[in-house]
Structure 1
Amino acid sequence: MELSMHHMRRKEIAKITQRRRQILVHSFMYHELHSPMASEEKYYGWCKELLMLQEKYPIESERLPYYEEFTYFTGATDFTIPYYKYPWIEQVALFLLGENS
């Protein structure tokens, strides 16, 4: 039982980084390329899950990548997310759109 709880906790903590990255890429694609990565419903589901996990694991969340970028993130808007800080975001977005020549 202990091992499975530990495994679930690790998976949930890893999900924080995954959701942050997805939201960064989605925000770039939505605002800069006018081609969202996911539907609004799916995007807001990611936001809700991220906020819940960050609240559940506040100490771990602070140690993970992109903590500063998501410190004041509420999920209501992504205008404050500085996706322009990371060149990899544009590369991933173009790859997802099939423009990786």
Structure 2
Amino acid sequence: MKKIALLLVFLYSLTYAAEYDPIRGQMLSLSCASCHGTDGKSEAITPYIAGMGKASLYQILLDYKNGKRVETMMQKHAKGFTDEELEQIAYYFSNVER
């Protein structure tokens, strides 16, 4: 039983490994503004990402970075960030009000 509890704690810590830094998240998110609008509030055909769930946005960004999702601009863009930086970006946009 103790082994299962320890495994669950370890897996949970991997999911939320990065400590959220709101200033860093905002600075990293500025690179998204040209396509997704200020604070992710797109007024064009690109997706509106403000208020999107942190876990789902983070997974989408990782999928682009790792080639699981194919879209020329996002793949190239996501590859320029570390996983921790993508997590900061996801945290930031998840905290922006829609």
Q: TM above 0.5, one fold?
A: no
| Greater helix content | 1
